[in-house]
A and B are shown apart, each in its own frame.
Chain A
Amino acid sequence: MRRSDGLIHVLALAPLVWIVFDQLTGQRSINPIQTWTQRSGFSALALLLASLACTPANRIAGVRRAAAWRRPLGLYGFGYALIHVLIFVVIDYAADGSAIMAELAEKRYLIVGALAFAILIPLALTSTAAWQRRLGRQWRRMHRMVYLAVPLAVVHQIWQAKSDIRLAVLFALVTGLVLLMRLPPTTGARRR
Protein backbone atom coordinates (compact mmCIF):
# COMPACT_ATOMS: atom_id res chain seq x y z
CA MET A 1 0.00 0.00 0.00
CA ARG A 2 1.31 3.38 -0.94
CA ARG A 3 1.07 6.58 0.99
CA SER A 4 -1.55 7.92 -1.43
CA ASP A 5 -3.72 4.89 -0.65
CA GLY A 6 -3.59 5.75 3.03
CA LEU A 7 -4.65 9.29 2.22
CA ILE A 8 -7.80 7.92 0.59
CA HIS A 9 -8.77 6.22 3.85
CA VAL A 10 -8.03 9.34 5.87
CA LEU A 11 -10.15 11.49 3.55
CA ALA A 12 -12.99 9.00 3.52
CA LEU A 13 -13.07 8.70 7.29
CA ALA A 14 -12.82 12.45 7.91
CA PRO A 15 -16.60 13.09 7.97
CA LEU A 16 -17.03 10.36 10.58
CA VAL A 17 -14.15 11.71 12.65
CA TRP A 18 -15.71 15.19 12.37
CA ILE A 19 -19.01 13.98 13.83
CA VAL A 20 -17.25 12.13 16.67
CA PHE A 21 -15.04 15.18 17.34
CA ASP A 22 -18.12 17.42 17.54
CA GLN A 23 -19.71 15.06 20.03
CA LEU A 24 -16.59 14.90 22.20
CA THR A 25 -16.00 18.65 22.21
CA GLY A 26 -19.60 19.40 23.07
CA GLN A 27 -20.35 21.02 19.70
CA ARG A 28 -23.53 19.03 19.39
CA SER A 29 -26.03 20.14 16.85
CA ILE A 30 -29.30 21.52 18.14
CA ASN A 31 -31.14 19.28 15.68
CA PRO A 32 -28.62 16.41 15.60
CA ILE A 33 -30.70 13.89 13.68
CA GLN A 34 -31.12 16.31 10.79
CA THR A 35 -27.45 17.30 10.89
CA TRP A 36 -26.24 13.69 10.85
CA THR A 37 -28.67 12.83 8.07
CA GLN A 38 -27.41 15.70 5.95
CA ARG A 39 -23.73 15.10 6.64
CA SER A 40 -23.89 11.36 5.99
CA GLY A 41 -25.84 11.89 2.77
CA PHE A 42 -23.41 14.52 1.58
CA SER A 43 -20.42 12.29 2.39
CA ALA A 44 -21.98 9.30 0.64
CA LEU A 45 -22.52 11.21 -2.57
CA ALA A 46 -19.14 12.95 -2.49
CA LEU A 47 -17.32 9.62 -2.05
CA LEU A 48 -19.36 7.86 -4.73
CA LEU A 49 -18.48 10.70 -7.11
CA ALA A 50 -14.83 10.43 -6.11
CA SER A 51 -15.01 6.73 -6.87
CA LEU A 52 -16.49 7.43 -10.30
CA ALA A 53 -13.77 10.01 -10.93
CA CYS A 54 -11.04 7.37 -10.54
CA THR A 55 -11.46 5.87 -13.99
CA PRO A 56 -11.15 9.18 -15.86
CA ALA A 57 -8.29 10.14 -13.54
CA ASN A 58 -6.52 6.98 -14.56
CA ARG A 59 -7.29 6.94 -18.28
CA ILE A 60 -7.31 10.63 -19.08
CA ALA A 61 -5.20 12.33 -16.44
CA GLY A 62 -2.79 9.45 -16.22
CA VAL A 63 -3.10 8.95 -12.47
CA ARG A 64 -2.50 5.23 -12.71
CA ARG A 65 -2.84 4.58 -9.02
CA ALA A 66 -6.44 5.91 -9.10
CA ALA A 67 -7.64 2.56 -10.40
CA ALA A 68 -6.88 1.12 -6.98
CA TRP A 69 -8.91 3.81 -5.21
CA ARG A 70 -12.13 3.13 -7.03
CA ARG A 71 -13.25 0.23 -4.88
CA PRO A 72 -12.44 1.64 -1.41
CA LEU A 73 -13.99 5.00 -2.29
CA GLY A 74 -17.12 3.30 -3.58
CA LEU A 75 -17.37 1.15 -0.49
CA TYR A 76 -16.89 4.13 1.82
CA GLY A 77 -19.60 5.92 -0.16
CA PHE A 78 -21.89 2.97 0.38
CA GLY A 79 -20.96 2.94 4.07
CA TYR A 80 -22.08 6.54 4.50
CA ALA A 81 -25.23 5.81 2.49
CA LEU A 82 -25.94 2.93 4.88
CA ILE A 83 -25.44 5.22 7.89
CA HIS A 84 -27.68 7.80 6.16
CA VAL A 85 -30.48 5.26 5.66
CA LEU A 86 -30.10 3.81 9.16
CA ILE A 87 -30.37 7.26 10.74
CA PHE A 88 -33.53 7.91 8.74
CA VAL A 89 -35.16 4.55 9.43
CA VAL A 90 -34.02 3.71 12.95
CA ILE A 91 -33.47 7.08 14.65
CA ASP A 92 -35.59 9.60 12.74
CA TYR A 93 -38.61 7.35 12.19
CA ALA A 94 -37.96 4.92 15.07
CA ALA A 95 -38.30 2.01 12.60
CA ASP A 96 -42.01 2.82 12.26
CA GLY A 97 -42.73 0.93 9.05
CA SER A 98 -46.11 2.47 8.32
CA ALA A 99 -44.88 6.03 8.86
CA ILE A 100 -41.89 5.39 6.61
CA MET A 101 -44.06 3.86 3.89
CA ALA A 102 -46.44 6.81 4.11
CA GLU A 103 -43.53 9.22 3.60
CA LEU A 104 -42.09 7.09 0.81
CA ALA A 105 -45.40 7.00 -1.02
CA GLU A 106 -45.74 10.76 -0.81
CA LYS A 107 -42.26 12.12 -1.49
CA ARG A 108 -40.47 11.73 -4.79
CA TYR A 109 -37.08 12.61 -3.32
CA LEU A 110 -37.38 9.61 -0.98
CA ILE A 111 -38.38 7.27 -3.79
CA VAL A 112 -35.33 8.07 -5.91
CA GLY A 113 -33.08 8.00 -2.85
CA ALA A 114 -34.38 4.58 -1.82
CA LEU A 115 -33.92 3.32 -5.39
CA ALA A 116 -30.34 4.53 -5.47
CA PHE A 117 -29.61 2.79 -2.18
CA ALA A 118 -31.33 -0.44 -3.27
CA ILE A 119 -29.11 -0.55 -6.35
CA LEU A 120 -25.97 0.01 -4.28
CA ILE A 121 -26.63 -2.91 -1.89
CA PRO A 122 -25.85 -5.80 -4.29
CA LEU A 123 -22.93 -3.83 -5.72
CA ALA A 124 -21.38 -3.44 -2.28
CA LEU A 125 -22.00 -7.09 -1.42
CA THR A 126 -20.32 -8.31 -4.62
CA SER A 127 -17.42 -5.88 -4.45
CA THR A 128 -14.88 -8.49 -3.29
CA ALA A 129 -12.31 -10.08 -5.57
CA ALA A 130 -13.90 -13.46 -4.90
CA TRP A 131 -17.25 -12.29 -6.21
CA GLN A 132 -15.54 -10.60 -9.12
CA ARG A 133 -13.97 -13.95 -10.13
CA ARG A 134 -17.16 -15.84 -9.52
CA LEU A 135 -19.33 -13.54 -11.64
CA GLY A 136 -16.77 -13.08 -14.42
CA ARG A 137 -18.14 -11.02 -17.27
CA GLN A 138 -21.47 -10.58 -15.46
CA TRP A 139 -19.69 -8.68 -12.68
CA ARG A 140 -18.70 -5.84 -14.96
CA ARG A 141 -22.17 -5.62 -16.46
CA MET A 142 -23.77 -5.68 -13.02
CA HIS A 143 -21.52 -3.00 -11.60
CA ARG A 144 -22.44 -0.60 -14.41
CA MET A 145 -25.63 -0.13 -12.37
CA VAL A 146 -23.66 2.42 -10.37
CA TYR A 147 -24.04 4.74 -13.38
CA LEU A 148 -27.76 4.70 -12.60
CA ALA A 149 -27.49 4.74 -8.79
CA VAL A 150 -25.33 7.86 -8.57
CA PRO A 151 -27.49 10.03 -10.86
CA LEU A 152 -30.53 8.89 -8.84
CA ALA A 153 -28.75 9.96 -5.67
CA VAL A 154 -28.01 13.33 -7.28
CA VAL A 155 -31.69 13.76 -8.17
CA HIS A 156 -32.48 12.84 -4.56
CA GLN A 157 -30.17 15.64 -3.42
CA ILE A 158 -31.68 18.18 -5.83
CA TRP A 159 -35.24 17.34 -4.79
CA GLN A 160 -34.50 17.53 -1.07
CA ALA A 161 -32.82 20.95 -1.34
CA LYS A 162 -34.84 23.90 -0.08
CA SER A 163 -35.03 26.30 -2.99
CA ASP A 164 -31.27 26.81 -3.10
CA ILE A 165 -30.15 23.92 -5.33
CA ARG A 166 -26.75 25.35 -6.22
CA LEU A 167 -24.70 22.71 -4.39
CA ALA A 168 -26.88 19.93 -5.76
CA VAL A 169 -26.47 21.28 -9.29
CA LEU A 170 -22.70 21.30 -8.80
CA PHE A 171 -22.88 17.62 -7.84
CA ALA A 172 -25.01 16.97 -10.93
CA LEU A 173 -22.45 18.69 -13.16
CA VAL A 174 -19.58 16.69 -11.68
CA THR A 175 -21.59 13.50 -12.13
CA GLY A 176 -22.30 14.34 -15.75
CA LEU A 177 -18.63 15.12 -16.29
CA VAL A 178 -17.22 11.92 -14.80
CA LEU A 179 -19.77 9.85 -16.70
CA LEU A 180 -19.09 11.65 -20.00
CA MET A 181 -15.38 11.10 -19.58
CA ARG A 182 -16.02 7.36 -19.84
CA LEU A 183 -17.32 7.64 -23.39
CA PRO A 184 -14.99 6.35 -26.15
CA PRO A 185 -14.08 9.76 -27.68
CA THR A 186 -12.50 10.89 -24.41
CA THR A 187 -10.76 7.62 -23.69
CA GLY A 188 -9.32 7.08 -27.14
CA ALA A 189 -11.90 4.36 -27.79
CA ARG A 190 -9.75 1.80 -26.07
CA ARG A 191 -11.97 -1.18 -25.57
CA ARG A 192 -11.07 -3.59 -22.89
Chain B
Amino acid sequence: MNRIPASEITPEWLYRQRRQFLRSTGALGLAAAALVACGAPAQPAMPAPTQPAVPAPRAAGTADERGDPLTDFDSVTNYNNFYEFSMDKEAVARASAGFVATPWQVTVDGLVRNPQTYAIEDLLGRFDQEERIYRLRCVEGWSMVIPWQGFPLHRLLAEAEPTAEAGYVRFTTLHDPERMPGQRDPWFTWPYVEGLRLDEARHDLTILATGLYGQTLLPQNGAPLRLVVPWKYGFKSIKSIVRIELTAAQPTSLWMASAPHEYGFYANVNPDVAHPRWSQATERRIGELSRRETLPFNGYAADVASLYAGMDLRANY
Protein backbone atom coordinates (compact mmCIF):
# COMPACT_ATOMS: atom_id res chain seq x y z
CA MET B 1 0.00 0.00 0.00
CA ASN B 2 1.38 3.39 -0.95
CA ARG B 3 1.36 6.19 1.55
CA ILE B 4 0.11 9.55 0.49
CA PRO B 5 2.68 12.17 1.47
CA ALA B 6 1.21 15.01 3.49
CA SER B 7 2.29 17.38 0.73
CA GLU B 8 -0.17 15.73 -1.61
CA ILE B 9 -3.18 16.06 0.60
CA THR B 10 -5.35 18.87 -0.69
CA PRO B 11 -5.33 21.88 1.61
CA GLU B 12 -8.71 22.82 2.99
CA TRP B 13 -8.96 26.20 1.21
CA LEU B 14 -8.22 24.61 -2.14
CA TYR B 15 -10.82 21.98 -1.76
CA ARG B 16 -13.44 24.49 -0.76
CA GLN B 17 -12.56 26.48 -3.81
CA ARG B 18 -13.25 23.35 -5.82
CA ARG B 19 -16.73 23.09 -4.31
CA GLN B 20 -17.34 26.67 -5.29
CA PHE B 21 -16.15 25.95 -8.81
CA LEU B 22 -18.50 22.99 -9.03
CA ARG B 23 -21.36 25.11 -7.80
CA SER B 24 -20.75 27.86 -10.30
CA THR B 25 -20.43 25.44 -13.20
CA GLY B 26 -23.58 23.73 -12.00
CA ALA B 27 -25.37 27.08 -12.21
CA LEU B 28 -24.01 27.59 -15.70
CA GLY B 29 -25.33 24.19 -16.69
CA LEU B 30 -28.77 25.08 -15.39
CA ALA B 31 -28.72 28.36 -17.27
CA ALA B 32 -27.73 26.53 -20.44
CA ALA B 33 -30.51 24.03 -19.90
CA ALA B 34 -33.00 26.86 -19.46
CA LEU B 35 -31.84 28.40 -22.73
CA VAL B 36 -32.31 25.13 -24.55
CA ALA B 37 -35.73 24.72 -22.99
CA CYS B 38 -36.76 28.14 -24.23
CA GLY B 39 -35.83 27.16 -27.74
CA ALA B 40 -32.95 29.61 -27.96
CA PRO B 41 -30.07 28.53 -30.18
CA ALA B 42 -27.24 26.79 -28.39
CA GLN B 43 -24.48 29.22 -27.46
CA PRO B 44 -21.14 27.52 -27.45
CA ALA B 45 -19.54 30.95 -27.26
CA MET B 46 -20.37 31.18 -23.53
CA PRO B 47 -17.02 31.83 -21.85
CA ALA B 48 -15.70 28.82 -19.99
CA PRO B 49 -14.77 29.55 -16.36
CA THR B 50 -11.10 29.24 -15.61
CA GLN B 51 -10.51 26.20 -13.53
CA PRO B 52 -8.62 26.79 -10.29
CA ALA B 53 -5.48 24.76 -9.83
CA VAL B 54 -6.99 21.81 -8.00
CA PRO B 55 -4.99 18.61 -8.16
CA ALA B 56 -6.78 16.09 -10.31
CA PRO B 57 -8.24 13.19 -8.38
CA ARG B 58 -5.78 10.35 -8.52
CA ALA B 59 -5.02 7.10 -6.85
CA ALA B 60 -1.81 5.13 -6.59
CA GLY B 61 -3.55 1.99 -7.76
CA THR B 62 -5.87 1.55 -10.72
CA ALA B 63 -7.73 -1.62 -9.75
CA ASP B 64 -8.64 -3.76 -6.75
CA GLU B 65 -6.83 -7.02 -5.96
CA ARG B 66 -9.24 -8.91 -8.22
CA GLY B 67 -8.34 -6.69 -11.15
CA ASP B 68 -11.59 -4.72 -11.16
CA PRO B 69 -10.98 -1.10 -12.22
CA LEU B 70 -11.70 1.85 -9.94
CA THR B 71 -15.12 3.48 -10.18
CA ASP B 72 -14.61 6.97 -11.60
CA PHE B 73 -14.26 9.90 -9.19
CA ASP B 74 -17.44 11.64 -10.37
CA SER B 75 -19.58 8.60 -9.64
CA VAL B 76 -17.98 8.04 -6.24
CA THR B 77 -18.62 11.67 -5.29
CA ASN B 78 -22.08 12.07 -6.86
CA TYR B 79 -23.90 8.87 -5.93
CA ASN B 80 -24.15 8.75 -2.16
CA ASN B 81 -26.49 7.34 0.42
CA PHE B 82 -26.32 10.01 3.10
CA TYR B 83 -29.83 10.72 4.40
CA GLU B 84 -28.47 13.46 6.66
CA PHE B 85 -28.36 15.58 3.51
CA SER B 86 -30.82 14.06 1.06
CA MET B 87 -32.62 10.80 0.42
CA ASP B 88 -31.84 11.19 -3.28
CA LYS B 89 -28.42 9.65 -3.90
CA GLU B 90 -27.73 12.01 -6.77
CA ALA B 91 -28.71 15.10 -4.77
CA VAL B 92 -26.43 14.51 -1.76
CA ALA B 93 -23.34 16.11 -3.34
CA ARG B 94 -25.14 19.40 -3.91
CA ALA B 95 -27.06 19.31 -0.64
CA SER B 96 -23.84 18.79 1.31
CA ALA B 97 -21.65 21.21 -0.66
CA GLY B 98 -21.69 23.86 2.06
CA PHE B 99 -20.92 21.47 4.90
CA VAL B 100 -17.77 22.59 6.70
CA ALA B 101 -16.05 19.68 8.40
CA THR B 102 -13.52 21.71 10.40
CA PRO B 103 -13.06 22.09 13.27
CA TRP B 104 -13.98 18.50 14.05
CA GLN B 105 -13.53 16.40 17.14
CA VAL B 106 -13.85 12.69 17.63
CA THR B 107 -14.29 11.22 21.10
CA VAL B 108 -13.11 7.70 21.90
CA ASP B 109 -14.63 6.59 25.18
CA GLY B 110 -16.68 3.95 26.95
CA LEU B 111 -14.94 0.80 28.16
CA VAL B 112 -11.39 2.03 27.53
CA ARG B 113 -8.44 2.85 29.75
CA ASN B 114 -7.54 5.99 27.82
CA PRO B 115 -10.62 7.90 26.77
CA GLN B 116 -9.59 10.73 24.50
CA THR B 117 -10.94 13.43 22.25
CA TYR B 118 -9.00 14.01 19.06
CA ALA B 119 -9.15 16.90 16.65
CA ILE B 120 -9.26 15.61 13.09
CA GLU B 121 -5.81 17.10 12.46
CA ASP B 122 -4.45 15.03 15.36
CA LEU B 123 -5.72 11.85 13.75
CA LEU B 124 -4.21 12.82 10.41
CA GLY B 125 -0.88 13.60 12.02
CA ARG B 126 -0.73 10.71 14.45
CA PHE B 127 -1.65 7.87 12.12
CA ASP B 128 0.03 7.35 8.76
CA GLN B 129 -2.51 7.53 5.99
CA GLU B 130 -2.41 4.75 3.45
CA GLU B 131 -4.37 3.96 0.32
CA ARG B 132 -6.77 1.01 0.41
CA ILE B 133 -8.67 0.03 -2.70
CA TYR B 134 -11.89 -1.63 -1.59
CA ARG B 135 -15.11 -2.80 -3.17
CA LEU B 136 -18.17 -1.10 -1.68
CA ARG B 137 -21.35 -3.18 -1.94
CA CYS B 138 -24.54 -1.31 -1.11
CA VAL B 139 -27.48 -3.30 0.22
CA GLU B 140 -29.47 -1.71 -2.63
CA GLY B 141 -27.70 -3.92 -5.13
CA TRP B 142 -25.08 -1.58 -6.57
CA SER B 143 -21.34 -1.50 -6.00
CA MET B 144 -18.20 0.54 -6.60
CA VAL B 145 -14.42 0.15 -6.31
CA ILE B 146 -13.01 3.05 -4.29
CA PRO B 147 -9.44 4.10 -3.49
CA TRP B 148 -9.68 5.29 0.10
CA GLN B 149 -7.04 6.92 2.23
CA GLY B 150 -7.12 6.28 5.89
CA PHE B 151 -5.71 4.17 8.66
CA PRO B 152 -6.70 0.90 10.33
CA LEU B 153 -9.16 1.39 13.16
CA HIS B 154 -7.15 -1.02 15.33
CA ARG B 155 -4.40 1.54 15.64
CA LEU B 156 -6.77 4.03 17.22
CA LEU B 157 -8.29 1.33 19.41
CA ALA B 158 -4.81 0.31 20.58
CA GLU B 159 -4.28 3.86 21.88
CA ALA B 160 -7.60 3.78 23.68
CA GLU B 161 -6.90 0.36 25.22
CA PRO B 162 -10.30 -1.31 25.46
CA THR B 163 -10.91 -3.00 28.81
CA ALA B 164 -11.66 -6.71 29.17
CA GLU B 165 -15.41 -5.98 29.35
CA ALA B 166 -15.47 -4.24 25.98
CA GLY B 167 -17.06 -6.46 23.34
CA TYR B 168 -18.42 -3.99 20.81
CA VAL B 169 -17.72 -0.63 19.24
CA ARG B 170 -20.50 1.87 18.77
CA PHE B 171 -20.04 4.67 16.22
CA THR B 172 -22.11 7.85 16.09
CA THR B 173 -22.49 10.43 13.32
CA LEU B 174 -22.61 14.14 14.06
CA HIS B 175 -26.08 15.21 15.17
CA ASP B 176 -26.57 18.77 14.01
CA PRO B 177 -29.76 19.45 12.02
CA GLU B 178 -28.50 22.97 11.25
CA ARG B 179 -25.60 21.52 9.28
CA MET B 180 -27.23 18.26 8.31
CA PRO B 181 -30.76 19.32 7.28
CA GLY B 182 -31.88 15.75 6.60
CA GLN B 183 -31.84 15.25 10.36
CA ARG B 184 -34.91 17.48 10.63
CA ASP B 185 -36.88 14.62 9.12
CA PRO B 186 -38.54 12.86 12.06
CA TRP B 187 -39.01 9.66 10.04
CA PHE B 188 -35.66 8.36 11.32
CA THR B 189 -34.25 8.28 14.83
CA TRP B 190 -31.17 10.48 14.59
CA PRO B 191 -28.27 10.42 14.97
CA TYR B 192 -27.04 7.63 12.74
CA VAL B 193 -25.47 4.87 14.81
CA GLU B 194 -23.55 1.80 13.71
CA GLY B 195 -21.70 -0.93 15.50
CA LEU B 196 -19.08 -3.62 15.11
CA ARG B 197 -18.00 -6.52 17.24
CA LEU B 198 -14.61 -5.68 18.74
CA ASP B 199 -12.81 -8.37 16.71
CA GLU B 200 -14.38 -6.99 13.53
CA ALA B 201 -13.31 -3.49 14.51
CA ARG B 202 -9.77 -4.74 15.14
CA HIS B 203 -9.51 -6.53 11.81
CA ASP B 204 -6.87 -4.98 9.60
CA LEU B 205 -9.32 -4.51 6.71
CA THR B 206 -11.42 -2.17 8.86
CA ILE B 207 -10.26 1.41 8.34
CA LEU B 208 -11.19 4.93 9.28
CA ALA B 209 -11.10 6.82 5.98
CA THR B 210 -10.08 10.46 5.71
CA GLY B 211 -9.93 10.77 1.94
CA LEU B 212 -10.43 9.14 -1.41
CA TYR B 213 -8.76 9.44 -4.78
CA GLY B 214 -5.89 11.31 -3.15
CA GLN B 215 -8.15 14.11 -1.93
CA THR B 216 -9.54 15.05 1.44
CA LEU B 217 -12.89 13.36 2.01
CA LEU B 218 -15.75 15.43 0.57
CA PRO B 219 -18.88 16.01 2.68
CA GLN B 220 -20.98 13.62 0.58
CA ASN B 221 -18.54 10.80 1.30
CA GLY B 222 -18.58 11.35 5.07
CA ALA B 223 -16.09 14.13 5.77
CA PRO B 224 -13.93 14.32 7.67
CA LEU B 225 -13.85 10.79 9.06
CA ARG B 226 -15.81 7.68 8.17
CA LEU B 227 -15.66 3.99 8.74
CA VAL B 228 -15.01 1.56 5.87
CA VAL B 229 -15.73 -2.13 6.46
CA PRO B 230 -15.45 -3.63 2.99
CA TRP B 231 -16.98 -7.06 3.67
CA LYS B 232 -20.22 -5.58 5.00
CA TYR B 233 -23.04 -3.74 3.24
CA GLY B 234 -22.29 -0.07 2.73
CA PHE B 235 -24.64 1.21 5.43
CA LYS B 236 -22.30 -0.23 8.08
CA SER B 237 -19.61 2.20 6.95
CA ILE B 238 -20.90 5.12 8.99
CA LYS B 239 -20.00 8.66 7.90
CA SER B 240 -18.93 11.87 9.66
CA ILE B 241 -18.11 10.14 12.93
CA VAL B 242 -17.95 12.16 16.17
CA ARG B 243 -17.91 9.37 18.71
CA ILE B 244 -16.41 5.90 18.99
CA GLU B 245 -17.59 4.19 22.14
CA LEU B 246 -16.53 0.78 23.44
CA THR B 247 -19.46 -1.12 24.93
CA ALA B 248 -20.27 -4.45 26.54
CA ALA B 249 -23.67 -4.80 24.89
CA GLN B 250 -24.30 -5.09 21.17
CA PRO B 251 -25.18 -1.64 19.83
CA THR B 252 -28.45 -1.10 17.98
CA SER B 253 -27.87 0.67 14.69
CA LEU B 254 -30.27 3.15 13.13
CA TRP B 255 -31.23 0.64 10.45
CA MET B 256 -31.70 -2.21 12.95
CA ALA B 257 -34.12 0.00 14.86
CA SER B 258 -35.83 1.23 11.70
CA ALA B 259 -36.38 -2.12 9.94
CA PRO B 260 -35.24 -5.04 12.14
CA HIS B 261 -36.34 -7.78 9.74
CA GLU B 262 -34.34 -6.30 6.91
CA TYR B 263 -31.16 -5.15 8.59
CA GLY B 264 -29.31 -7.17 11.17
CA PHE B 265 -26.32 -6.23 13.28
CA TYR B 266 -23.78 -8.11 11.17
CA ALA B 267 -24.89 -7.10 7.66
CA ASN B 268 -22.12 -9.12 6.06
CA VAL B 269 -22.39 -9.17 2.27
CA ASN B 270 -24.04 -12.54 1.71
CA PRO B 271 -25.58 -13.67 -1.60
CA ASP B 272 -27.37 -16.49 0.25
CA VAL B 273 -29.44 -14.23 2.50
CA ALA B 274 -32.23 -12.66 0.49
CA HIS B 275 -33.54 -9.16 1.04
CA PRO B 276 -37.24 -8.36 0.42
CA ARG B 277 -36.38 -5.77 -2.23
CA TRP B 278 -32.96 -5.91 -3.77
CA SER B 279 -31.13 -8.87 -5.22
CA GLN B 280 -28.30 -9.92 -2.96
CA ALA B 281 -27.30 -12.71 -5.34
CA THR B 282 -26.24 -10.21 -7.99
CA GLU B 283 -25.21 -6.58 -8.10
CA ARG B 284 -24.63 -3.82 -10.60
CA ARG B 285 -21.18 -2.28 -10.57
CA ILE B 286 -21.66 1.42 -11.20
CA GLY B 287 -20.63 2.12 -14.80
CA GLU B 288 -21.44 -1.37 -16.00
CA LEU B 289 -24.56 -2.54 -17.82
CA SER B 290 -24.81 -6.19 -16.84
CA ARG B 291 -25.11 -7.61 -13.35
CA ARG B 292 -22.31 -9.41 -11.54
CA GLU B 293 -22.51 -12.25 -9.07
CA THR B 294 -22.22 -10.96 -5.52
CA LEU B 295 -19.36 -12.63 -3.66
CA PRO B 296 -19.64 -13.94 -0.09
CA PHE B 297 -18.19 -11.31 2.25
CA ASN B 298 -17.91 -9.08 -0.85
CA GLY B 299 -14.87 -11.08 -1.98
CA TYR B 300 -13.01 -10.82 1.35
CA ALA B 301 -14.02 -14.26 2.65
CA ALA B 302 -10.41 -15.47 2.84
CA ASP B 303 -9.63 -12.61 5.23
CA VAL B 304 -12.75 -12.48 7.37
CA ALA B 305 -14.80 -15.69 7.18
CA SER B 306 -12.92 -17.06 10.20
CA LEU B 307 -14.41 -14.27 12.35
CA TYR B 308 -17.76 -16.01 12.00
CA ALA B 309 -16.71 -19.66 12.40
CA GLY B 310 -19.56 -21.71 13.80
CA MET B 311 -22.12 -18.92 13.41
CA ASP B 312 -25.34 -19.35 11.46
CA LEU B 313 -24.99 -16.44 9.05
CA ARG B 314 -28.57 -16.83 7.86
CA ALA B 315 -29.82 -16.17 11.39
CA ASN B 316 -27.13 -13.53 12.05
CA TYR B 317 -27.71 -11.46 8.90
| A residues at B contact (CB < 8 Å) | 21, 25, 27, 29-31, 33-35, 91-94, 99, 102-103, 106-109, 159-160, 162-164, 166
Q: Which residues of B contact A94 (CB under 8 A)?
A: 290-291
Q: Which residues of B contact A108 (CB under 8 A)?
A: 276
Q: Which residues of A contact B188 (CB under 8 A)?
A: 163
Q: Is B277 a contact of A162 with CB atoms below 8 Å?
A: yes
- Minimum CB–CB distance from B149 to chain A (whole Å) comes to 22
Q: In the docked arrangement, what's the CA distance between A102 and B289, Å?
A: 20
Q: Please give me the residue from chain A that is nearest to B75 by CB atom.
A: A30
| B residues at A contact (CB < 8 Å) | 29, 32-33, 36-37, 74-75, 78-79, 87, 89-90, 140, 142, 187-188, 255, 258-259, 274, 276-277, 279, 281-282, 284, 286, 289-291
Q: Please give me the residue from chain A that is nearest to B78 by CB atom.
A: A30
Q: Is A34 a contact of B276 with CB atoms below 8 Å?
A: no
Q: Which residues of B contact A27 (CB under 8 A)?
A: 33
Count A-B pairs with CB separation below 8 Å: 55
Q: Which residues of A contact B276 (CB under 8 A)?
A: 107-109, 159
The answer to whether residues A159 and B79 also contact, given A25-B33, A94-B291, A164-B187 and a CB cut-off of 8 A, is no
- Minimum CB–CB distance from A20 to chain B (whole Å) comes to 12
Q: In the docked arrangement, what's the CA distance between A162 and B139, Å?
A: 11
Q: Is A31 a contact of B286 with CB atoms below 8 Å?
A: yes
Q: Please give me the residue from chain A that is nearest to B258 by CB atom.
A: A163
- Minimum CB–CB distance from B196 to chain A (whole Å) comes to 22
Q: In the docked arrangement, what's the CA distance between A102 and B284, Å?
A: 17
The answer to whether residues A163 and B282 also contact, given A25-B36, A30-B90, A94-B291 and a CB cut-off of 8 A, is no
Main secondary structure of the interface of B (DSSP, over half): loop
Q: Is A99 a contact of B142 with CB atoms below 8 Å?
A: no
Q: Which residues of B contact A25 (CB under 8 A)?
A: 29, 32-33, 36
Q: In the docked arrangement, what's the CA distance between A166 and B211, Å?
A: 35
The answer to whether residues A31 and B142 also contact, given A103-B279, A159-B277 and a CB cut-off of 8 A, is yes
Q: In the docked arrangement, what's the CA distance between A99 and B290, Å?
A: 13
Q: Is B187 a contact of A34 with CB atoms below 8 Å?
A: no
Q: Which of B37, B87, B282, B286 contacts A30 (CB 8 A)?
A: B286
Q: Could you write out 30 A-B pairs with CB less than 8 Å apart?
A: A25-B29, A25-B36, A27-B33, A29-B90, A30-B75, A30-B78, A30-B79, A30-B89, A30-B286, A31-B79, A31-B89, A31-B142, A31-B284, A33-B284, A33-B289, A34-B284, A92-B291, A93-B291, A94-B291, A99-B291, A102-B281, A103-B279, A106-B274, A107-B274, A109-B277, A159-B276, A160-B277, A163-B258, A163-B259, A164-B187
Most chain B CB inside 10 Å of its own CB: which residue of A25, A30, A102, A106 = A30
Q: Which residues of B contact A166 (CB under 8 A)?
A: 187
Q: Please give me the residue from chain A that is nearest to B144 by CB atom.
A: A30
Further contacts, 12 of them, CB under 8 A, given A30-B79, A162-B277 = A25-B33, A30-B89, A31-B286, A34-B284, A92-B284, A92-B291, A99-B281, A99-B282, A103-B279, A107-B274, A160-B277, A164-B187
Q: Which residues of A contact B87 (CB under 8 A)?
A: 164
Q: Which of B75, B140, B279 contacts A162 (CB 8 A)?
A: B140
Q: In the docked arrangement, what's the CA distance between A91 and B291, Å?
A: 10
Q: Which 5 A-B pairs have the closest CB atoms?
A: A30-B79, A30-B75, A106-B274, A163-B258, A163-B259
Q: Which of B36, B142, B259 contacts A34 (CB 8 A)?
A: B142
